[in-house]
Amino acid sequence: MSKEPVAVVGIGQTKHVAARRDVSIAGLVREAAQRALDDAELTWADIEAVVIGKAPDFFEGVMMPELYLADALGAVGKPMLRVHTAGSVGGSTALVAANLVAARVHGTVLTLAFEKQSESNAMWGLSLPIPFQQPLLAGAGGFFAPHVRAYMRRTGAPDTVGSLVAYKDRRNALKNPYAHLHEHDLTLERVQASPMLWDPIRYSETCPSSDGACAMVLTDRAGAARAPRPPAWMLGGAMRSEPTLFAGKDFVSPQAGKDCAADVYRQAGIADPRRDIDAVEMYVPFSWYEPMWLENLGFAAEGEGWKLTEAGVTELDGDLPVNMSGGVLSANPIGASGMIRFAEAALQVRGQAGEHQVEGARRVLGHAYGGGSQFFSMWLVGSQRPDS
Amino acid sequence: MTREIAVVAFAQTDHRRTSAELSEVEMLMPVLHEVLDETGLKTADIDFTCSGSSDYLAGRAFSFTLALDGVGAWPPISESHVEMDGAWALYEAWTKLLTGEADTALVYSYGKSSPGSVRDVLTRQLDPYYVAPLWPDAVSLAALQAQALIDGGVTDEPALAAVGARSRSDAGANSHAQLRGSVPQGEYAVRPLRTGDCPPVGDGAAAVILAAGERARSLCARPAWIRGIDHRIEAHGLGVRDLTDSPSARLAAERAGAFERPVDTAELHAPFSSQEVVLRRALRLDDSVRVNPSGGALAANPVMAAGLIRIGEAAAGIHRGESDRALAHATSGPCLQQNLVAVLEGDPR
């Protein structure tokens, strides 16, 4: 049997900021959803189902918030699914929604992911003490810093690479009106002089805490034919998971990430990702993850990722732009961050990315990961329908 | 041509008031082994895995991640999770199988209510600005619904008591149930609901294996084919809903094809006796239908697994040849806000 091709015809984001005190959680998600509908020139009545995702409920202190949000998202009388796969959730949520279309269960689906971090403190939300379990060591930075150090040791990368990524992403963010951080006076020297938080990760190489939401309207061939603007077509999508803690785990380049990318490339007929993919929105919450994921995703040989970064290949005007939007380093509403990557990839192939548009982007990868690098979700979108 | 997908195996724990000596993973592991053993499959043979659980029961963020370690996700697996009852995890897995990207799926869910007060915990599901600060608990909200039914002349207290008594009497044949046999109706918990109208608080886990087409026939002598499955949600505010009705359950049943032909069995996720009254009417179940032969949620209600167990029980009845066409139902949210209905059938005999 064949799957129905899936098209992205509407994309909406909020302007990500440290605290949206002017709206409730419902108001925040509604804003992104309405923008996605407006982009698709559809109404709430055109939506057949809603798939919503966010990272842990403890971040806002609302258990299973989809129940409360049903009204705000026009879901009353419709199916509503709630996905939660840690930091990869924004991507996973989009893939679950895409499967509803691919399986021909529904024709047009709204998918949305959000986080309103100002409602609580994510650092402590991640650090609840549990008996008989390894503590996460004060938020995510404490967990990931040793793995960054391992990458540096393994590859011999000079310790300046991380700051190059942060400087690039923050400059890209200046071209993205929705990005949280717009640091107009940032210089490379300032990144390098910022305080050391979790050695080797400096303050300016970490993601902010943001309030924000991202929504997409996904539809089938018939829906895409009616769309007012060019659709982005899903060419491949996959999720992979591996255990958090076990002796065989490679925290620098997890097997689940490699397998997930390989599955996406197989579906999309990508033989050489470096040549066949035009740009990447990847999940880089700490700057060093750009060179690490370049290797994990097959854009560089093992130990070579940092050389692409250093050579400027991943700059907005480089040969393989990475995080044109400014990435997670410039806006991190955690639950939404994965979906923003997926949505920004779609914006690029639709030619709708505005000032941070990559000329001629035809195939763009959206990437998300979560937990202790054990959950991965990715999709590759293109300007051409896969069966055309 | 839509793919045929079936439940081919089901396992559940013995549900208990407390399982303090077990972690969630330890509670879950035997059930995972049981469904795999039933089919002869190994973790590596499963194409897609999906689970349902809630961080709020565990009292920590990302609680599901450790369960995944227990599944043995190595080499890496294709896997997802819903922060919902496992019935919705099964729905996601069903969708995945429909796309043709997977032929087999493992679905599991679990919940431990014993570490806290689930009555208080569930208040955190409510509108966080206007309702949750008042801490209205699940029993009180169900009592509002029960009183609305009584006021509407739909039922009365003796009829509700009969629902509880029948459920626990039927649960006598279910070794996994928590409350079995003759259980006194008890004192009022919140008027008009007595303790006998309310579910036991307990810990438990469940797992199901799905398979498509010929694969299902090779794994199970009599697969429980999912003829239809659908779920719908209603408004959150109780003030804008008619609590004596369940339009979302009715619509889900209609979309799942439940009304096309009569069912012989129904497994309803009705944690309160009054909710069975609502669901029987919405789902058009008359006295010819065996309702909750397992004892239902009034005999065991491990939160986050109780809905998946309804699907599993309905399927197991078909596997055993005791049922030919069954309806399975799961609910979520206050006063039946969200409802899922699946229609299962065995091959003709």
Question: Residues B81-140: pLDDT tens digits?
Answer: 999 999 999 999 999 999 999 999 999 999 999 999 999 999 999 999 999 999 999 999
pLDDT band at A306 (very low <50, low <70, confident <90, very high): very high
Q: Is residue B338 less than 8 Å (CB to CB) from chain A?
A: yes
**Gap between the Cα atoms of A321 and A326, Å rounded:** 11
Quote the pLDDT of residue B63. 85
Nearest CA in chain B to A123: B61
**Gap between the Cα atoms of B67 and B46, Å rounded:** 16
A255–B128 C-beta distance less than 8 A = no
Quote the pLDDT of residue A129. 63
Work out the end-to-end distance of chain B between its first and last CA atoms, rounded to an integer number of angstroms. Answer: 24
Task: Please state the rounded mean pLDDT for residues A255-265.
Answer: 98
Question: Residues B225-269: pLDDT tens digits?
Answer: 999 999 999 999 999 999 999 999 999 999 999 999 999 999 999
Mean pLDDT, rounded, of chain A: 95
Question: Residues A201-254: pLDDT tens digits?
Answer: 999 999 999 999 999 999 999 999 999 999 999 999 999 999 988 889 999 999
Alpha helices in B6-74 (DSSP H): 24-39, 55-58, 64-71
Pick the closest to residue B312 from B296, B288, B335, B298 (CA basis): B296
Task: Please state the rounded mean pLDDT for residues B44-61.
Answer: 93
pLDDT band at A325 (very low <50, low <70, confident <90, very high): very high
A261, HSE (Cβ side, Cα atoms, 13 Å): 25
Task: Please state the rounded mean pLDDT for residues A90-96.
Answer: 98
Check whether A137 has a pLDDT greater than 60: no
Sign of CA dihedral A55, A60, A65, A69: negative
Quote the pLDDT of residue A1. 57
Pick the closest to residue B272 from B247, B237, B296 (CA basis): B296
Structure tokens at A270: 């990508």
CA A131 from centroid of its chain's CA atoms: 32
If DSSP codes are grouped into helix, strand and coil, which group holds residue A203? helix
Task: Please state the rounded mean pLDDT for residues B297-314.
Answer: 98
CA angle B307, B311, B312 (to 5 degrees): 110
A316 within 8 A of A324, measured Cβ to Cβ: yes
B61–A105 C-beta distance less than 8 A = no
Rounded to the nearest 5 percent, the helix, strand and coil shares of chain A are 40, 20, 45
* From A76, A130, A243, residue closest to B68, measured CB to CB: A243
Quote the pLDDT of residue A94. 98
* From B88, B235, B237, residue closest to A81, measured CB to CB: B88
CA A76 from centroid of its chain's CA atoms: 28
Chain A environment of B111 (Cβ under 8 Å): none
Pick the closest to residue A380 from A95, A173, A151 (CA basis): A95
Chain A environment of B99 (Cβ under 8 Å): 3, 99, 102-103
Amino acid at B344: L
Residue count (chain B)? 349
* From A67, A85, A246, residue closest to B80, measured CB to CB: A85
Quote the pLDDT of residue B214. 96
Quote the pLDDT of residue B66. 84
CA angle B218, B264, B198 (to 5 degrees): 105
Mean pLDDT, rounded, of chain B: 96
CA B341 from centroid of its chain's CA atoms: 10
pLDDT band at A133 (very low <50, low <70, confident <90, very high): low
B61–A128 C-beta distance less than 8 A = yes
Quote the pLDDT of residue A293. 98
With b for 16 or more beta-carbon neighbours within 10 A and e for fewer, the A306-328 pattern comes to bbbbbeebbbbebebbbbbbbbb
B335 within 8 A of B241, measured Cβ to Cβ: yes
* From B54, B62, B72, residue closest to A63, measured CB to CB: B54
pLDDT band at A130 (very low <50, low <70, confident <90, very high): low
B69–A246 C-beta distance less than 8 A = yes
Q: What is the DSSP letter of A342?
A: H
pLDDT band at A51 (very low <50, low <70, confident <90, very high): very high
User: Which A residues 74-133 touch B at CB under 8 Å?
Assistant: 75-86, 92, 95-96, 99-100, 102-105, 125-126, 128, 130, 132-133
Question: Residues A171-182: pLDDT tens digits?
Answer: 999 999 999 999
**Percentage of residues in chain B having pLDDT higher than 90:** 93
If DSSP codes are grouped into helix, strand and coil, which group holds residue A127? coil
**Gap between the Cα atoms of A119 and B14, Å rounded:** 39
B199 within 8 A of B190, measured Cβ to Cβ: no
Amino acid at A108: T
